Structure 1
Amino acid sequence: MPTIATINGYRVVIYTADHRPAHVHVIGAGFEIVFNLNCPNGPLDVRNIAGKVSDRTISRIASLIEPEIVAFCAAWRKHHGHY
């Protein structure tokens, strides 16, 4: 489970044995959010939320990782091939 980034204390992970569509797992204290990347240029959309996290925090995290979509898509492609 490579951590591809840490942004404001949130781990952004791509699991090596995961499935399409291209997505990242964002792990925080007590929660995990799965964002579909919609490669190659986004936009992000929330696919799944596990644990307790406010809508405000979800929006904040999305705004933090949105600028990194192209890099995250490249990381997905490195581990899994096509999006």
Structure 2
Amino acid sequence: MIYPNDHRPAHVHVIGGGCEAVFKLRCPDGPPELRENFGFTRKDLSEFSAALTKALGKLCDEWEHLHDDF
């Protein structure tokens, strides 16, 4: 989730199952970096990090579209 009224630096919220993690995207080149975690396992976080790395270009484009810069 990228919130349209959120603050910089570019980041995403991963939410589910009563848990939340926030990853800094480190646009435009990555790699994403875990900023905080509330309840996800290390395995979950590793999988999220891999998925975010694959989608980094699209996520950075979306952040820039919503916020004008990183």
Q: Deviations over 1:25-48 (max 9, x none)?
A: 111211111110000120110011
Aligned residues: 70
- The two structures have a TM-score, normalised by structure 1, of 0.79
In the alignment, the residues of structure 2 paired with residue 65 and residue 21 of structure 1 have an alpha-carbon distance, to the nearest angstrom, of 16
Code of the aligned partner of 1:17:
N
Which residue does the alignment assign to 1:61? Answer: 48
In the alignment, the residues of structure 1 paired with residue 64 and residue 51 of structure 2 have an alpha-carbon distance, to the nearest angstrom, of 21
Q: Which runs of 4+ in 1 moved over 2 A?
A: none
Matched, 1:31 2:19: yes
- CA-based RMSD: 0.9
The offset of 1:49, in angstroms, is 1.3
* Unaligned stretches of 5+ residues in structure 2: none
User: Greater strand share, 1 or 2?
Assistant: 1
Higher relative contact order at CA 8 Å, sep ≥6: structure 1 or structure 2? 2
Which residue does the alignment assign to 2:10? Answer: 22
In the alignment, the residues of structure 1 paired with residue 51 and residue 4 of structure 2 have an alpha-carbon distance, to the nearest angstrom, of 23
Code of the aligned partner of 2:13:
H
Percent of paired sites with the same residue: 39
In the alignment, the residues of structure 2 paired with residue 58 and residue 28 of structure 1 have an alpha-carbon distance, to the nearest angstrom, of 12
Code of the aligned partner of 1:61:
F
